[in-house]
Structure 1
Amino acid sequence: MAGFILMAGCSTPVQERKVSKSGFLKNYSQLKSGKDGEVQLLYINPRANFAKYQKVMLEPVQMRVKEDSKLAKVPKAEKKELVNYLATTLREQLKSDYIFVSKPGPDVMRLRVAITDGKKGKVVMNTVSTIIPISLAVDLVKYAATGTHMAVGEASIEAEGLNSASGVRLFAAVDARSGRKSLMSGNFTKWGDVEDAYNYCAKQLHIRLAELSTK
């Protein structure tokens, strides 16, 4: 029964219990632990008027990983694909509410985003540990202890929005997500869980900015 529930469950990425700071953001002191449903570390400028920002200047997505990260050992071509995927996903999510521009201005939000860690999923092992009872039991023990499932992909992202003219920070966020044990998830490709995490984060950014714009 537990296996059936997991296989039929939602493929929303799991928020990891710990997150590290990469140095991509210049100032982490403003960030506080997020509430339920929010990113792990979050800052929202209480004085910012989000409604006035109708345009976005999206900087090239960066890959900011430490030397001991598994993502650091990934071939350059695959790193480039991940960067391009996240950039495309961000544009797709935000284009309905924002005009993308290349120059700063008082009504332009400068959006900085970086991939700060991650790893690909182990497709065969992931599938086995999802459907075989013994492997599933081992996975549940691992998840209870660490908050992360066996053989899934993982992704960490840092982002901030700035007033492009003044440089005043509007928001900043740090989050880490991993794959969920579900046959509905993207775990049949090695980067599927990572792409799911990127999709989720981009969508949540869009939703949160829309909420802030109405306040």
Structure 2
Amino acid sequence: MKVAFLMGSLFMASVAVTGCSSKLTQPDEYSGFLKDYSQLKEGKSPSGAPVMRWVDPKLDINKYSKVYIEPSQLYPKPQPTERIPQSTLNGITTYYDQALKRELGKSLPLATSPGPGTIVMRPAITAVSSKTEGLKPYEVIPIALVAAAVSTATGIRDQETDIGTEAVFLDGQTNQVIAQVVRKGSGKPLENTSQVMKADDVKKVIDGWAADLHQSYLNLKAK
């Protein structure tokens, strides 16, 4: 009976840990960058990734002929660490800007400033973290749990790299919010607790975000 109870408890703990690694941004992870989160609804990006988003139901996408992308920012302003130095943070925002311009430039001509007929995108990187990879279901066996704990303590276990973004889209003339999106993703796992995270580790995630925005625009145009 005690063994069954122990195994059941370990299984539930494993499920709890797995749940914490959800790819959908949870309300307690919102950064405060957006003015209003109440209208966000769960959905799927064009690539199938889970996102929280809102699009003005009255939006007439055909009235816009240009897009202005504000420089992405880190929000709230993070404190660099040995694992995630300022050079990595700067590299992430620089690459985010490049990816957005590359992909959204396929949707609309890039504007140099807001104005009539212009969509203004205001993007932010709202989370950059590195944490020990969550326990896998097969590790509910006590011996494996002990081994995992030892590996974590010695820095052997893989480290997850997580990154989040929030973005608001505005009418360039009225400054009215026309859409919002919140999402996150995981980059390349780091090998141990001493490996320094680099911007390259999350570039694939950022590329996916930017490509989804371009495809979302095409989907709106097709409606």
Same fold (TM over 0.5): yes
Q: 1:121·1:191 contact (CA, 8 Å) conserved in 2? A: no
When the two structures are superposed, what TM-score results if normalisation uses the length of structure 2? 0.67
Q: Hey, what does 1:110 align to over in structure 2? A: 120
Which one of the candidate residues 170, 176, 188 is aligned to 1:168?
A: 176
Q: Which residue identity is paired with 1:54?
A: S
- Give the deviation of 1:40 after TM superposition: 2.6
> 1:47-67: per-residue Cα shift (whole Å, max 9, x none)?
011122221111110101366
Q: 1:154·1:179 contact (CA, 8 Å) conserved in 2? A: yes
Q: Cα distance 1:89–1:35, how it changes in 2: closer, same or farther (>3 A)?
A: closer
Q: Which residue identity is paired with 1:204?
A: D
Q: 1:61·1:87 contact (CA, 8 Å) conserved in 2? A: yes
* Structure 1: stretches of 5+ with no match in the other structure: 1-13, 127-137, 182-188
Q: Percent identity at matched positions?
A: 27
- Give the deviation of 1:35 after TM superposition: 4.5
> 1:160-192: per-residue Cα shift (whole Å, max 9, x none)?
1110111121110101111478xxxxxxx8444
Q: Hey, what does 1:16 align to over in structure 2? A: 23
CA distance in 1, matches of 2:200, 2:97: 16
Q: Does 1:155 align with 2:151?
A: no
Higher relative contact order (CA 8 A, sep 6+): 1
**Secondary structure of 1:161 counterpart:** strand
Q: 1:108·1:165 contact (CA, 8 Å) conserved in 2? A: yes
CA distance in 2, matches of 1:150, 1:18: 22
Which one of the candidate residues 58, 68, 71 is aligned to 1:60?
A: 71
Q: Hey, what does 1:5 align to over in structure 2? A: none
- Give the deviation of 1:38 after TM superposition: 5.1
CA distance in 2, matches of 1:17, 1:105: 33
> 1:61-94: per-residue Cα shift (whole Å, max 9, x none)?
0101366xxx743322221111000000001111
Q: Hey, what does 2:202 align to over in structure 1? A: 194
Deviates more, 1:106-115 or 1:29-38: 29-38
CA distance in 2, matches of 1:72, 1:142: 35
- Give the deviation of 1:143 after TM superposition: 11
Q: Which residue identity is paired with 2:75?
A: R
Q: Hey, what does 1:207 align to over in structure 2? A: 215
**Secondary structure of 1:99 counterpart:** coil
CA distance in 2, matches of 1:191, 1:141: 30
Q: Cα distance 1:22–1:54, how it changes in 2: closer, same or farther (>3 A)?
A: same
Q: Hey, what does 2:97 align to over in structure 1? A: 87
Q: 1:38-53 maps to which residues of 2 (within 5 A)?
A: 39-53=50-64
